[in-house]
Amino acid sequence: MALYKRLGKLTGWTVPEGGAETRGTALLRPSGGMSTANNIVYRTERIARYFESNRSSWLQFYASERWIFERIASKSGSIGRVLDVGCAAGGLGLALQERFSIDEYVGVEINEQAVAAARARRDRLRPRAEFHCQDIVKMATVPRAPFDLVTNLSCSDWNVETAAITDACWRNVIPGGNLVISLRLTNGGSVNDMSRSYQHICFDEGLRDDDEKANYVVFNVRDALRLFENLRPQPSQVLGYGYWGPPSKSAVTPYDQLVFSVFALTKSTRDDQVPTSELHLPLSLWTA
Ligand SMILES: C[S@@+](CC[C@H](N)C(=O)[O-])C[C@H]1O[C@@H](n2cnc3c(N)ncnc32)[C@H](O)[C@@H]1O
């Protein structure tokens, strides 16, 4: 815990005392709402090792993720040019090409070894592919932007600058295109505080105190929808799908059940479009 308090001091990130769950979006944005690029640069080899043998084929992705991709693909099964933010070893590109036609696949990833693993598998990708080792928040725009589809699976909510990562993804979406983003939801308070909610970066081995840790952000459902509403330009449509389940065994978090959700946010082609929503989420997220 002391480590994360020190991290807060070093970065200006708000690490609240006490641990009361927080409502509202304040904690989901870095201080001042600015893009301060204080994300954790993950150093462990374990990300590369895990993702080069997992989440690399269509059926290894969650039902919620597959549901959303099926919904946004064109009738002919095309999803166009894809930017995958937090791409790890590039497994989503391999998975999507099994199911859809892709014109291009570009990955951005903060962990060096994962980028090396993605590049090592580039010849398995049919479309043109390239990978950048960078914090997405530090990239004004990604080379070859804008993209028809920007994906952010377990990325915004696995680092500290959740809102800035989401904004950065959004600015790389072409008007009329989509951002697909996964978030963990609750009917309780949002938590973006690594002293209370974090994940050991440990996939098979037993958990140890000295494991590198990732942030494990949980959103109150209304805060998640506000995060989307605060994007500029606002999305013209928010499509969501999710279901209750237990948190990962490697996570330490105040909740024992969360809604694992995936959203597709469509970027408007006009200024005057009022955002609409189609949410296939459990009613108990609002009523419980
Ligand atoms: C939980 S993993 C998910 C990997 C992959 N998206 C998937 O769903 O299979 C999250 C990945 O996002 C990367 N990441 C976290 N913050 C990032 C940032 N600010 N910019 C780029 N990559 C980031 C991590 O290093 C990690 O590889």
Question: 187: CA distance to ligand 1 center in Å?
Answer: 25
Give one word for 284, left, alpha or beta, with left for phi > 0 and alpha for psi -120 to 50: alpha
Question: 271: CA distance to ligand 1 center in Å?
Answer: 31
Residues lining ligand 1, Cβ inside 6 A: 39, 42, 47, 51, 55, 85-88, 91, 108-111, 114, 135-137, 153-155, 158-159, 165
Would you say the C-alpha torsion 113, 116, 118, 124 has a positive or negative sign?
negative
What is the fold of 2-287?
Rossmann fold (3.40.50)
Count of CB atoms situated within 10 Å of the CB of 260 = 20
Query: Which DSSP string corresponds to 129-153?
Result: EEEEES-GGG-SS-TT--EEEEEES
Domain boundaries, the chain: 2-287
DSSP assigned state of 172: T
Q: Which residues lie closer than 8 Å to 22 by C-beta, 6 or more apart?
A: 16, 189, 190, 191, 192, 193
**Digitized pLDDT (tens) for each residue of the chain, 288 residues in all:** 344 333 433 333 333 322 333 333 344 544 333 445 699 999 999 999 999 999 999 999 999 999 999 999 999 999 999 999 999 999 999 999 999 999 999 999 999 999 999 999 999 999 999 999 999 999 999 999 999 999 999 999 999 999 999 999 999 999 999 999 999 999 999 999 999 999 999 997 789 999 999 999 999 999 999 999 999 999 999 999 999 999 999 999 999 999 999 999 999 988 788 999 999 999 999 997
What pLDDT score was predicted for residue 24?
A: 36
3-state secondary structure of 77: coil
What pLDDT score was predicted for residue 199?
A: 98
What pLDDT score was predicted for residue 249?
A: 95
- Taking CA atoms only, the protein residue closest to ligand 1 atom 24 is 86
Contact 65, 95 (CB under 8 A): no
Question: 110: CA distance to ligand 1 center in Å?
Answer: 7
Verify cis geometry, omega within 30 degrees of 0, for the bond prior to 282: no
Q: How many helices and strands, by DSSP H and E, does the chain display?
A: 8, 12
- Taking CA atoms only, the protein residue closest to ligand 1 atom 27 is 88
Question: 64: CA distance to ligand 1 center in Å?
Answer: 18
Count of CB atoms situated within 10 Å of the CB of 62 = 18
